[in-house]
Amino acid sequence: MTAAADAPGPDHRAAALCALLGSPEDLRRPGVREAAERARDLLRSGADTEELASCYRALDTALRQAGDARGLVNESRGGTAPGIAPHLKVAVCPGPTPCPRLERARDLLPAPHCAINGTRMRKGRLGAAR
């Protein structure tokens, strides 16, 4: 038996479970807290994939029966949870004709100094054009 190509893998479901466990209002729905805590306990104990998949299905069903049409995995839960950026942060040249220099930009540290323009580089996101 093969899985569908678009079926979320265990990592997506684990991320969605983590986001769900961090959402008190979603856990107040009837049956959801128990199913989520069971999935968390199985994940922590290193349960086999069959048992974990069954638990994820039960959690998805509990969410939908409680009125959450999103289920366990959707665009607003899991990999796109708040705080997860799909792009790498980089420092780029601030000059009027930017040079190709790129540096890793860390959130809590200032951008590196640009020796040519005499200012700090500006932070941006590494896109497909770079």
Q: Would you give the DSSP letter of residue 83? A: T
- Residue 128 pLDDT level (bands cut at 50, 70, 90): low
- pTM here is 0.53
- How do the domains of the chain map onto residue ranges? 1-84, 88-126
pLDDT at 42 over 60: yes
CB 126 within 8 A of CB 88: yes
Alpha-carbon distance values, 28 to 20, 57, 70 (Å): 11, 19, 16
Look at residue 77 in the predicted model and tell me its pLDDT.
58
